[in-house]
Chains A and B, each alone.
Chain A
Amino acid sequence: MSEQAGELKLERLLADALRPVEPPESLATRVETTLSSIAQQAAAELSNWADELSEGEREALRDPRNWVRPVAAVAVGGAAAAALVLVEARRRRRPHGVRATVERRIKDLT
């Protein structure tokens, strides 16, 4: 048998041997049930979240004028934190310990 004919025969055998396998019907039901339950849960959570907000709150969330305060609060908070970090860094740079304290006192007196 020629090489090509041998290959063709083997391909035919493979096609016969490796047939697609039908999934059991229970699997289709199982997957569909799981998927629809996930979709329903997601929809319910979204709906609950929306329901928890009053109409006024939802309007307020959408209005960009109401975004100024949170942004300003974050900016002020950030600046305060930076200032605290600077003060702490300067404090740490100052020499400390008994000798440093005595030297500072002498310097203050003179």
Chain B
Amino acid sequence: MPGEGEASGAESSTKAPPADKAELDRAFTDLYRTHLRDVYSYAYYKVGNHHDAEDLTEQAFLQAYRHFERARRESNGRPLRPWLIRIAHNLASNYYRDRARRPEANIEAVEPPAHPHETERVVEGREELREVIARLDDLPDDRREALIMRFALGMDNREIARALGRSDGATKVLIHRAIKQLEELMSDE
């Protein structure tokens, strides 16, 4: 999973002013390759199925491409992953609004991927994991999203704060409360 360290290779170029279109395209390709899995994972956990997650991911990168030059200029060398996740987050919100629906199924019930990843095999064998995933759906959206960013994408508090448009402190509290609430929900079972 690309963490901050891995992302820095792709994003070191964000510090340099764009030389030309070809250089910009190369930088975007780096960004895209580094973060495809992050954006896809986020989209998948948001919408609950692979088909819509693929569409959302594609849309997110197309939108990012349109605004990449400005984002790079204004990022001052900071990682662009939170910006990408925020784009995916906004698109997912529009997705719900346009279709006037929430995910039809929670994560545990989503269709299996073409190549089942390890999570699903693990979940099959472990009741506790099933329960965690089921209870995640009972959390308020912002808490659930913060946990997805933390655990599925490995984002730190600062990155999550930037993706959610909150302060670092507020994000720390949000994650702490999310874990507390999840714990309570599980102990209620």
Chain A interfacial positions (CB closer than 8 Å to B): 6-7, 10-11, 13-24, 27-28, 30-32, 34-35, 38-39, 42-43
Contact = CB atoms under 8 A, between A and B. Distances in A.
B132 A13 contact: yes
Interface in B3-21: 21
A50 to B, nearest CB: 14
Nearest to B65: A35
A16 B151 CA distance: 8
Interface of B: 1, 21, 25, 28-29, 32, 36-38, 40-41, 44-45, 50, 53-54, 57-58, 61-62, 65, 113-115, 117-119, 122-123, 126, 128-129, 132-133, 136, 147-148, 150-154, 179-180, 182-183, 186
B151 A18 contact: yes
Contact of B40 (A16, A23, A35): A23
Contacts of A21: 37, 40-41, 44-45, 53, 113, 117, 119, 152
B38 A14 contact: no
A76 to B, nearest CB: 38
Contacts of A30: 54, 58
A34 B58 contact: yes
A16 B45 contact: no
Given A6-B183, A17-B151, A32-B32, 20 more contacts: A7-B179, A10-B182, A13-B129, A13-B132, A17-B123, A17-B132, A17-B136, A18-B119, A19-B117, A20-B154, A22-B117, A23-B36, A23-B40, A24-B54, A27-B57, A28-B36, A31-B61, A31-B62, A38-B62, A43-B21
Chain A's interface: helix, strand, loop or mixed, by majority?
Answer: helix
Contact of A16 (B28, B36, B129): B129
A38 B186 contact: no
Nearest to A35: B65
Nearest to A24: B114
Contacts, number: 106
A31 B65 CA distance: 11
B36 A20 contact: no
Contact of B132 (A10, A27, A32, A42): A10
Contacts of A17: 119, 123, 129, 132-133, 136, 151
Contacts of B136: 17-18
Contacts of B29: 32, 35
A20 B153 contact: yes
The residue in A15, A21, A24, A32 that gathers the most chain B C-beta atoms within 10 A of its C-beta is A21
A35 B61 contact: yes
A90 to B, nearest CB: 49
A45 to B, nearest CB: 12
A80 to B, nearest CB: 40
Contacts of A31: 32, 36, 57-58, 61-62
